[in-house]
Amino acid sequence: MLELKIDGWRKGLRFSSAHITPEHKKCGRLHGHTYAIHLRMQGKQDEWGIVLDFGVITDTLKAIGDEIDHLVLVPTESNHYSNLKVTKKDVKFRVTDPYTGEPKEFSFPRQDCALLPLPSTTAEDLAKYVYREFMKRTKFTTDTAFVEVGVDEGYGKGAWYSDAKPVKGKSKVK
Ligand SMILES: [Zn+2]
């Protein structure tokens, strides 16, 4: 078994986005980060010595990051966002201000938002999101023991996620 590692900072797999973590001091205000996406996977080599083409991995991760780059990240499954209303024109929601305990309302143009099917937009949940998208979009060519995705929220801290399920390689390399 061999291990592949992709370092998102060095490979340029980055996105910069705005978010809110309601009811948390500082993070309960609208603010932004530059994020990096990392990946680690273990698998068997094919007859050319490859576990999974590095180009396939980085292109997929880059596409996932680009889709949420320079947008306001809005979790659609949060219990802490109330009155979430999405129209063609805009996205509106209400959260509780961490300092005053009062509700505050946000409204953004629809095209400036990424709606994510997540309970929050913490690095933890973003790592889950990127992992799931990567697994949906990737055709594994060899048997893979595990894939793990990391999302750093700024340099030096991040969260890693894997469902730890092995994947059967579906086809030979073209
Ligand atoms: Zn933050």
Using a CB cutoff of 5 Å, list residues around ligand 1, an ion.
27
Q: CB within 8 A of 9, min separation 6: which ones?
A: 36, 152, 155
Instruction: DSSP for 82-123, please give it.
Output: EEEEE-SSEEEEEEE-TTT--EEEEEEEGGGEEEESSS--SH
Give the C-alpha separation, 152 to 138, whole Å.
22
Residue 31: predicted pLDDT = 97
The Cβ of residue 57 has, within 10 Å, a number of other Cβ atoms equal to 20
pLDDT per position as a tens digit, 61-112: 999 999 999 999 999 999 999 999 999 999 999 999 999 999 999 999 999 9
Q: Which residue in 27, 80, 124, 148 is the catalytic one?
A: 27
Q: How far is the CA of 53 from the centre of ligand 1 (A)?
A: 32
pLDDT per position as a tens digit, 4-40: 999 999 999 999 999 999 988 999 999 999 999 999 9
- CATH annotation of 2-73+118-161: 3.30.479.10
Under 8 Å between Cβ of 111 and 39: no
Q: Please compute Rg for the chain using Cα positions.
A: 18
Give the E-state strand segments of the chain in sequence order: 2-6, 14-19, 31-43, 72-75, 82-86, 90-96, 103-109, 113-116, 144-153, 158-161
Task: Return the closest-CA partner of residue 32 out of 71, 88, 66.
Answer: 71
Q: How far is the CA of 18 from the centre of ligand 1 (A)?
A: 8
Domain ranges in the chain are 2-73+118-161
Structure tokens at 113: 């938002």
